[in-house]
A and B are shown apart, each in its own frame.
With several copies, the nearest count.
Chain A
């Protein structure tokens, strides 16, 4: 089997359309999140919000291989996964602003945003909640004889939660078409990964459960996409689960408003300069000659308009109807 750490040729292997889709996802995540950050600071976004900026290549590189019938379970930091999984910006924005017409009618908000029809089984405010759920989706695919996969997104912090370990063994034992995508962004809230992962090696722990587990540069769309290609192929072939530990950095605080006293300003600035997934993408594709800067610039413009439309509409949209408080608790009761 192909190993992701061999010399990768994916820039020439991925077709142009896929490349552009990947870029569009990353750019949309970046700019959407930048806008949410501004709106949050302005007091327009209710509740807590955790931004994905810096990790765009992970969601995009992973989801580029998935269809609506492949299911992902996400985290409290879930906007990026939504966008990469194809959720529409309009209803997403309405949801983050908790307005009528939101994907979840405004009843979920940032930490529970979901679109089951798109195979996005929800952000999740419980750290470690995603892995068992994604295993369930993988089990459904397997049982129904479908070629689909389950993908759990989780953080370095979540990798210490018992549910995560259980799910890993469970997926290996049942040979589930699962991919665990661990986004190691250096921190669980305020606590550094060097402290909270005793072994210092998240992928190594996953491998010990009896599955391939690869460390991947999570700021490089191509590295992620290539590793995911192999994992997905393995899963669809009925060979079982894979873990990808994707290394990237969280650019913002844990939540918007986090003063980040535990982190030096220097480190944050360094991160932004040296580990920008968008810059890395642009550099790589321009070297390959496959996509021109003009094409990417055009996407940038479209994305900016789309985001502005969605967010502006969300800000002025009405709140959910009061009757919504009592609906959707049960199918019938």
Chain B
């Protein structure tokens, strides 16, 4: 156990799995830092965010594969390779690029098992950076997990801390299904305790990050940290339970419903856009499954129904804030 950054936790998960299993390969753009083509360089930066640092040096060009800028080929090749003996981990530098290659994810990889009558496994991971807060504007800062979660056949993972990142990524690599692994770019530098040895965190099991009795706050991804901070601040006046579902598909509605039945109040905090988003999903499911359990109207805090703006002050307004979370919790409890 030692303190590692979110970036390091991901790196360690990949390295340990690659050491353990020779069928795990990485492919993507600039993941070997252009080492495939250029002499005279000083070594790979390990992708745009430095997440893969050292992996090219350790595993070589055969397993850390730089590709042309051709996301359909990258993800499609990962899907084809997953059918034929590898466990590929494909990288979309920014998950926002899914628009040029989604067919290979949602119509191909996600549906193989069903279309083929269960005669195959599709053990692949598509990793990519998500989220706002980095000033990267409309096409490099989207959340997108509600879209991926809508697709049967995909699993969608949204780690909120270094510990989660490592355990969930190892699970994703060992999983027999295609997994979208979403790395919030603002989290890369956050630090936390991470075991040195490999471990897995099962999918579909929410994590209670704060126990409480007055309200259930379901928070996704980066918002878990925000909600934890608010919960700590409000204590002991208010006892706020914070749940981190960790995967949006499967989504642990069981634990959410259990918590809501205990607290009688519900707030969902998510950075994704609102329409057909996680807030709607969680609140809708609670309304269906636990009608009558809510003592107050449930609320959701999400990004607005707008693209991500470039201006820093607007981007800050775009992202749910600790202040809004705190105010909303107070309002719900005040009734």
Q: A110, A126, A324: which has the most chain B beta carbons within 10 Å?
A: A126
Query: What is the chain B residue whose CB lies nearest that of A71?
Result: B84
Give the residues in chain B near A198, CB-CB below 8 Å: 68
Interface segment, one of A98-106, A226-234, A241-249: A98-106
Kindly report which residue of chain B lies nearest to residue A261, judged by CB atoms: B42
A319 touches B312 (CB 8 A): yes
Q: Does any Cβ of A come within 8 Å of B95's Cβ?
A: no
What are 26 A-B residue pairs whose CB atoms fall within 8 Å in the complex?
A102-B117, A103-B117, A106-B309, A112-B115, A112-B138, A115-B119, A117-B119, A125-B137, A129-B104, A129-B107, A133-B80, A136-B80, A136-B83, A136-B88, A158-B69, A160-B68, A161-B71, A163-B73, A167-B77, A170-B67, A174-B65, A190-B30, A191-B30, A319-B314, A330-B113, A331-B175
Q: A263-B38, A328-B113 are in contact. Are A132 and B314 (CB under 8 A)?
A: no
Query: Which of B41, B81, B135, B312 has the most A CB atoms < 10 Å from its CB?
Result: B81
Inter-chain contacts of B79 with A (CB < 8 A): 132-133, 136
Q: What residues on B are CB-neighbors of A322 within 8 Å?
A: 313-314, 317
Please tell me if the beta carbons of A162 and B100 are within 8 angstroms of each other in the complex.
Answer: yes
Q: Name 17 extra pairs, CB < 8 A, besides A46-B312, A170-B77.
A: A105-B117, A107-B115, A112-B116, A114-B116, A122-B115, A126-B103, A132-B73, A163-B103, A166-B70, A167-B70, A261-B43, A320-B314, A322-B313, A322-B317, A329-B153, A329-B307, A330-B155
Q: How many residues of chain A are within 8 Å of chain B by beta carbon?
A: 88
Which residues from chain B contact A28 at a C-beta distance below 8 Å? none
**Given the contacts A189-B29, A262-B33, A98 and B310 also touching, CB distance less than 8 Å:** yes
Q: B177 within 8 Å of A by Cβ? A: yes
User: Which residue of chain A is the closest to B85 with respect to CB atoms?
Assistant: A140
Q: Which residues of B contact A261 (CB under 8 A)?
A: 33, 41-45
Q: 1/0 per position for B80-101, CB-CB distance to A under 8 A? A: 1111111010000000110110
A144 interface residue (CB < 8 Å to B): yes
Assess whether B103 is in contact with A129, with CB atoms less than 8 Å apart.
Answer: yes
A293 interface residue, CB < 8 Å from B?
A: no
Known A-B contacts A143-B62, A320-B313; the reply to A173 vs B67 at CB < 8 A is: yes
Complex alpha-carbon distance, A197 and B121, angstroms: 33
Whether the pair A196, B68 counts as a contact (CB closer than 8 A) is yes
Chain B nearest CB: distance from A117 CB in Å?
A: 7
A332 B139 Cβ-Cβ under 8 A: no
In contact, B76 and A133 (Cβ under 8 angstroms): yes
CA of A331 to CA of B82 in the docked complex: distance in angstroms?
Answer: 14
B321 within 8 Å of A (CB atoms): no
Across the A-B interface, give the 8 residue pairs with the lowest CB-CB distance, nearest first: A136-B80, A132-B76, A195-B37, A109-B310, A47-B135, A105-B117, A331-B176, A190-B34
**In the complex, A122 Cα to B37 Cα: how many Å?**
31
Q: Which residues of B contact A71 (CB under 8 A)?
A: 80, 83-84
Contacts A162-B72, A169-B68 hold; do A116 and B80 have CB atoms under 8 A apart?
no
Kindly identify which residue among B84, B152, B155 contacts A140, using a CB–CB cutoff of 8 Å: B84
Partner of A189, one of B25, B48, B119: B48
- B212 on interface, CB distance cutoff 8 Å: no
Q: Which of A167, A320, A329 contacts B306 (CB 8 A)?
A: A329
Contact call B72/A325, Cβ cutoff below 8 A: no
A108's partner among B43, B68, B108, B116 (CB-CB below 8 A) is B116
What is the number of contacts between chain A and chain B, taking CB atoms within 8 Å? Answer: 326
Do the beta carbons of A46 and B108 come within 8 Å of each other? no
A136-B149 Cα distance, complex, nearest whole Å: 25
Q: How many angstroms from the CA of A158 to the CA of B135 in the assembled complex?
A: 23
Give the chain B neighbours of A104 by CB distance below 8 A: 115-117, 119, 310
Q: In the bound complex, how far is the Cα of B66 from the Cα of A6, in angstroms? A: 37
Residues of chain B with a CB closer than 8 A to A212's CB: none
Task: Tell me how far the C-beta of B102 lies from the nearest C-beta in chain A, rounded to whole angstroms.
Answer: 11
Residue in A48, A157, A330 whose beta carbon sits within 8 Å of that of B135 in the complex:
A48
Answer whether residue A86 sits at the interface, using C-beta atoms and an 8 A cutoff: no
Complex contacts, B80 vs chain A, CB 8 Å: 71, 73, 121, 132-140, 150
Distance in angstroms between the alpha carbons of A132 and B78 in the assembled complex: 8
B63 within 8 Å of A (CB atoms): yes
Which residue, of B27, B137, B204, has the highest number of chain A Cβ atoms within 10 A?
Answer: B137
Q: How far is the CB of A147 from chain B (nearest CB, A)?
A: 14
* Bound Cα distance from A134 to B36, whole angstroms: 22
User: How far, in Å, is B117 (CB) from chain A's closest CB?
Assistant: 3
Q: Which residues of chain A are within 8 angstroms of B100 by Cβ–Cβ distance?
A: 126, 128, 161-163
